[in-house]
Amino acid sequence: MKSLVRMTERSSLWLALWGVGAITAIRVILLVVTPLQLYPDEAQYWWWAQHPAFGYFSKPPLIAWIIWLSTQAFGPATWAIRLASPLLHAGTALLIYASSELVGGRRLALWSALVYATLPGVAYSSGLMTTDVPLLFCWALALYALLRALDEQGWRWTVVCGLAIGVGMLAKYAMLFFALGLLLAALISLKARRFVFSGRGLLVAALAIVLILPNAYWNWSHHFPTIGHTAEDADWDTASYSLGNVFFFIAGQFGVFGPVLMIAFLIALWQLARSARRSDRELTLAAMALPPIFLMLVQSFISVANANWAATSYISATPLAVMVLLEAPWALLSCLVIDVTAMLVLWAVLVRPGISSTLGLSNAFKREEGWQELGHAVTVAARSQGFDAIAVVNRSVMAEMTYYTPARSVPLRAWDGNGIVADCFEMTMPLLPADRHVLLVLLPQEVRTVLPSFESVRPIRRVRTPVGGGLTRTVLLYDVRGYRSPRPAP
């Protein structure tokens, strides 16, 4: 057994490369063969990628830049839009390998990389292109650079850390939690304190600020829509102060990270708190994991927090948890069995989405079905009546129509009911009175609110598309004229 362990340690990098590489190759193949369509947010990001900029209404620009690169290389297919997701997750797994090797050696590095690659949250995320994917990669790179910089006096890894934080902020503002982790690390680790409160710490901050400046200027010149949207997501205006929300958020963390791994992570924190022999690197890992989880616990109590909002914690939580599991190989095996089983189930759903209803997962995939059929119906209707524009009310439907109505000959417009810009489509392509003859696309629950804003209304058809689990999505098409806009014409 000892010889097997030594052989594993000697070959750990190659085993990690082969393991992560094989998983990634399968994920890329599944992206090509899956019939699942773009999630609404993915469609919106694709639309942004058609108009490269330093910022967008609800997110920083990195996601759009990545999609622009992948679609320039491989075309606008759904799989090409999502291609960077499994590749970046693979890069994140290998960066976790590198960080874990610094903390606990090659054995810890190998299992940490493989565990991350098979996490339930990563397995699901690898089938979508979201802002969390580049964020996690940048976080992992910044963490590795930080661990290297703690033990080296040169400036190379300091520069890498600052650049990674800056680029991560261009992915998602949650990268700011890294700064809180640095401050916490400085409180509990002597090496981290010497690094943070030094010229090198100032250089990290300066580089990050320089990289985010173009996005900050874009926000300033557009009246800070991204910051405003982030505040709306937090939703503190309708605070609920609910322990029930806290419970559901905690339960979501066990789902995203896996139950065995979450228990092991909590044990690792407890052991670190009790132990007098704690390395600076272990303390730094814990410090980087705690701020996102703690802040999202507070957020879930005040209003609501999605399970993925604490995802950055698990970059450093993974090696801490695996350190505990390596002391009980049966626990590590059970963790991998659970995670790999969940991953295989998700792979099966990607190939045959219909089985999601049998497994009780249809709710997780229903927003990736039916959009192409709706886009075809809208395109056919737009060609038949000589419309000046196609107006859409719902943001998700609007995002999908930007991608799934490529053959339309009239422009898309966003209906606005109150004159307050609520999304990127209302900001960049609002419906105006000059659009006299309009094909209106709306959901049944929007009828009473929307139709009174037009002088003339004639129903065209009701479009029903299956979305799995025996459910259908119903969308109404109207021929409307005389839009009374709540905002002045530009």
Residue 461 is classified by DSSP as E
Q: Are residues 200 and 70 in the same domain?
A: yes
Residue 436: count of CB within 10 angstroms of its CB: 13
Among 315, 331, 358, the domain-final residue is 358
pLDDT tens per residue, range 220-252:
998 888 877 777 666 666 777 888 888 888 998
Q: What is the 3-state secondary structure (H, E, C) of 232-253?
A: HHHCHHHCCCCHHHHHHHHHHH
pLDDT at residue 4 in the model: 44
Q: Of the candidates 428, 425, 436, 443, which has an alpha carbon nearest to the alpha carbon of residue 374?
A: 443
Asked whether residue 408 carries a pLDDT value surpassing 80, the answer given is no
pLDDT at residue 255 in the model: 87
Among 358, 386, 413, the domain-final residue is 358
Average pLDDT, the chain: 91
Asked whether residue 5 carries a pLDDT value surpassing 60, the answer given is no
Q: Are residues 399 and 333 in the same domain?
A: no
Q: Please identify which residue in the block is written with the tokens 């996601």.
A: 63
Among 325, 358, 391, the domain-final residue is 358
Asked whether residue 423 carries a pLDDT value surpassing 70, the answer given is yes
Distance, CA of 72 to CA of 68 (rounded, Å): 6
In a domain, 443, yes or no: yes
Distance, CA of 203 to CA of 221 (rounded, Å): 27
pLDDT at residue 171 in the model: 97
In a domain, 489, yes or no: no
Q: Are residues 347 and 473 in the same domain?
A: no
Q: Are residues 104 and 166 in the same domain?
A: yes
Looking only at the bridges linking them, the beta strands covering 437-442 and 389-392 are: parallel
Q: Are residues 348 and 432 in the same domain?
A: no
Q: Are residues 302 and 448 in the same domain?
A: no
- Residue 132 sits in which domain range? 2-358
Q: Please identify which residue in the block is written with the tokens 């058809």.
A: 461
pLDDT at residue 124 in the model: 94
- Whether pTM > 0.75 for this model: the answer is yes
Q: Are residues 157 and 185 in the same domain?
A: yes
Q: Specify the number of domains making up the chain.
A: 2
pLDDT at residue 486 in the model: 80
pLDDT tens per residue, range 434-456:
999 999 999 999 999 999 999 99
